[in-house]
Amino acid sequence: MQKIVVAVDGPSGSGKSSVSKEAARRLDAAYLDTGAMYRAVTWHALDAGTDLTDARAVAAAVKAADLFISTDPDLELVKIHGTDVTVAIREPFVSEAVSAVATNLEARKELVARQRAIIAAHDRIVAEGRDITTVVAPDADARILLTASEEARLRRRGIQLGGTQSAAELETQVLARDAKDSTVVNFHVAADGVATVDSSDLDFEETVTAVLAAITAQA
C-alpha cells in the first residue's frame, strides 16, 4: 500500500480528534493524538510534584517521562512509566495545567522529536494536534486545518463533557486554553499549502468526508 502521512491541526472542539481517528480507520492508517502526549507528560509532571511555574523543572520532567501512546485508531491507550493514564489525562486538572507544558519551548522540542520518531516509524499515519502541519510534519503528504466557529466548538465540548458544565466553565476550558496555546503555536490560520476544512455547519460524517476529500486532493 502507498505510504501516506496526513497532518491535521485545529483548536479545541473543532472535532479534530474524532474526525482524524475515523479518517485513519478509513485510510487503513495509524493515528497519533499529540494532544494526549502533552496531557500525559503534564500528568507525569503533576504526579512527580513538579512546580509548573519552574520552566527548567517542567522541561526536565518532560524529558524524563517514559511515555507510551497507542497508534491504533481502535485502541486508546496512554501509559506513563507503565501506568495506564488513558482516562486520567482527560480530567479537568490536567486540561487546566497542560498549557504550562505546551508553552515551555524545551518541552515542546522534546515532544516534537518524539512525535517525528513515531510518524517516521509508520508507513501510513494520520497525526493531529496544534503544530503538526507547520512544525512536526510540514512535509506531510496532506495537511489540513480543521476549524469551527466558537459557538460550534463550545457546543461540541459541552456535549462531550456530558452537559454538566456552565457556559462560563466551558468558555474557560475551551477559549482560555486556546488563547494560552496560541501564544506559541498558530492553529487558527492555515499556513501556505494547508487546506482548511470548516466543520461549523457539518455533522461528523460530512466532516470526515470533507477531510478525506482534502487528503485525496493533496496526496
Q: Can you say which residues are annotated as belonging to the binding site for ATP? A: 10-18
- 143 is an interface residue for ligand C5P by CB under 6 A: no
Closest CB 128 distance from ligand C5P, rounded Å: 8
Pick the stretch among 62-70, 124-132, 166-174, 193-201 that binds ligand C5P (CB under 6 A): 124-132
> What is the chain's Cα-based Rg?
16
Pairing of strands 83-84, 78-80: antiparallel
Which amino acid would we find at residue 30? A
Measured from the CB atom, the residue of 2 and 157 that comes closer to ligand C5P is: 157
| 93 touches 15 (CB < 8 A) | no
The piece of 31-39, 76-84, 142-150, 201-209 that touches ligand C5P (CB under 6 A) is: 31-39
- Round to whole Å and give the CA distance between 204 and 183: 29
Contact pattern for ligand C5P over residues 63 through 82, marking x by CB under 6 A:
--------------------
List 8, 12, 43, 156, residue binding ligand C5P (CB under 6 A): 12
Q: Which is nearer to ligand C5P, 2 or 145 (CB)?
A: 145
Site for ligand C5P in 150-189 (CB under 6 A): 177, 181, 185
Q: In what order do the strands lie in the sheet with 4-9?
A: 30-33, 124-129, 4-9, 142-147, 195-198
Looking at the Cβ atoms of 31 and 38, the one nearer to ligand C5P is 38
Closest Cα partner for 126 from 39, 2, 4, 1? Answer: 4
Is residue 104 near ligand C5P by the rule CB under 6 A?
no
Angle, to 10 degrees, between the axis of helix 16-26 and the axis of helix 204-218?
60
Q: How far is residue 81 from each of residues 8, 64, 95, measured CA to CA in Å? A: 28, 10, 20
Supply 6's cell numbers.
496526513
Euclidean distance between CA atoms 170 and 150, whole angstroms:
11
35 binds ligand C5P (CB under 6 A): yes
Instruction: Give first-to-last CA distance, the chain, whole Å.
Output: 13
Annotated binding site: 10-18
- Would you count residue 130 as binding ligand C5P (CB under 6 A)? yes
Instruction: Kindly tell me which of 196 and 216 has the beta carbon lying closer to ligand C5P.
Output: 196
Task: Please report, as ranges, the residues that interact with ligand C5P according to CB under 6 A.
Answer: 12, 34-35, 38-39, 98-99, 102, 129-132, 177, 181, 185
